[in-house]
Structure 1
């Protein structure tokens, strides 16, 4: 059973997300919070597998709460529930070690698959968030772009190709299909990429892919 903590200051959002999750076998919402401070306390009490946190909440915002949970509950994977207007928070969220970004307006299937992915040690990045992030980076390149470009030169050509598709939000299975390889081979590539880039999850690797210019429009518009 995947145990989930849900934190959002809007009651209707919590009700909607809870309704989606609790209809799925193997997922249980064990606690709900209306602010970040309460979320941290409930995470410490219930030790959930996954915490879904809104960014803007009273008392303590979701990103500060994510940082607190990383210290007090390192085994809890944190997923940020975001909107298009909150792209500026992505870099800060990465610094807090979040495992993923999902839109509040995401397809329910994306929410469920995202929770399952992070609960099993993976990460999730909404394709719509990926597209928006790519647009923002093109309009205002990050000062880290040159550094990210240099880091990716450590990768082989094939690893760079895999990283670009990963950055576009493709799953291992989708990448394998594109490259006509078996999924196990892609998992090996992804593991090697994480090691070379010294990142913890797919979200952090995706940011480097965007900054290094490895994400292709064709993959974002798949």
Structure 2
């Protein structure tokens, strides 16, 4: 069993406790040491049975190898955290729920989190530090680039491409062959029927740009 810290004591981080519990039911792999959180008001508190030990300074001072699960969904914050942790002793854990259907020839990058009930079909490419929440459908030939996040019940279609730091809200649908640009946001429940430009936000059915 390996020791692991969870970076982020908010909702996503707390759900990672459940993910690790599910993994450990199959095989005892992880022992949760505590939370890391940059909000000083949380330091020393016990949240859902796990103590908040301090901020990222703990990671940068680690003298031996330590595994960390990134419990953050906001793409730009994820990237800032990764760039701010410079200690080579920190190893970012890739966690995949045992309930995930993982088909054939799929790739999942370092530090990515795939939660319960998701489907990864065939020839799916998921980059580094991608977060996929509960019950997402990721079919054939989809590419999801680094730091992107999918919230619960997102449905993508074949050959869709999500560029770096894209964010897809709960219950959104993306049609086949489309590209979601860098830093783009797809609102909850949106139905995307055309490419989404980088840095824009789209909402509605059909999805329309609001900024």
- Using the size of structure 2 for normalisation, the TM-score is 0.36
Q: Pick the structure with more strand per residue.
A: 2
Greater RCO (CA < 8 Å, at least 6 residues apart): 1
